[in-house]
Structure 1
Amino acid sequence: MSNYLFSIVLTIHVLVGLGIIALVLMQHGKGADAGAAFGGGASGSVFGSSGSANFLSRTTAILAAVFFLTSLGLSYLSNGKAVKPSSVMQDAAVTAPASAGDAAPAGAAGDSKAQSIPK
């Protein structure tokens, strides 16, 4: 159950993040930027005579609050559970015995240069 809930919250989190990016790019800046193409001062625009600035800033604030809440929700749902290896190869990599090639040759035991080389 929590795995499905985690997936749902993660999907909402990603969509809200993309929405915030889009809204920030559409907002008016001091110069002529991407927001200048939308609602360029027309009083009969879709957003009313005040322009799109008020609507876009409120929507951005709401999406930022939702993004913050989904971030907290994702951190609560993940709760640091240890993940077991899901394949035989991951399990073998964890418990692999040392190979015979790792041991030093018998004649090189007294050689200080052979012992100082990292493996």
Structure 2
Amino acid sequence: MHTILVIVQVLVALGLVGLILLQHGKGADAGAAFGSGASGTVFGSRGTANFLSRATAWLATVFFATSLALAYLVHGAKAPTSVTDSIPQQAPATAPVPSVPAAPAPSADPAAPKAPVVPE
């Protein structure tokens, strides 16, 4: 069943691409207004717009239905309720933190020896 749905999905997707490429855009209507000869087509003067748009809508509906069916077949009722539910839980790492001796605080006594200044 899965393979049949994938084949139908691919064929419908190719059909959608073909139908969408066959349709003319909004800008093509200006040429038809000046007598571009659209009445001599197979579907008539406005027949292609109705046929192609309806066929596109039907193929889009079939594409949507097969997408939902494939998603249900792949995941079904066992799908997690949340994305975070599918992440495996790990215990936090408790590595010992090395102790670093603190630097001595500067002395407030002006007579205390100072560190030598090294020129750069």
Question: Structure 1 length as normaliser, TM-score?
Answer: 0.53
Unpaired runs of at least 5, structure 1: 82-119
- How far the C-alpha of 1:30 sits from its partner, in A, is 2.6
Between the aligned partners of 1:49 and 1:31, the Cα distance in structure 2 is 16
Q: Percent identity?
A: 63
Q: Does 1:57 align with 2:53?
A: yes
Which residue is equivalent to 2:41?
45
Q: Structure 2: 5+ residue runs without aligned partners? A: 79-120
**Matching of residues 76-91 of structure 1 within 5 Å:** 76-79=72-75
Q: Deviations over 1:64-87 (max 9, x none)?
A: 000000001101111268xxxxxx
Greater RCO, CA 8 A, separation 6+: 2
1:42–1:51 Cα contact (<8 Å) kept: no
| Equivalent in 26, 31, 36 of residue 27 of structure 2 | 31
- 2:4 corresponds in structure 1 to 8
CA offsets 1:37-95 (integer angstroms, 9 cap, x no match): xxx642132112324111110000000000000001101111268xxxxxxxxxxxxxx
* Matches of 1:18 and 1:41, distance apart in 2: 29
Runs of 4+ off more than 2 Å = none
CA–CA distance in structure 2, aligned partners of residues 43 and 60 of structure 1:
22
Provide the secondary structure at the position in 2 that maps to 1:43.
helix
Amino acid at match of 1:61: A
CA RMSD of aligned residues (A): 2.9
The structure with the largest alpha-carbon Rg is 2
More helix by share: 1
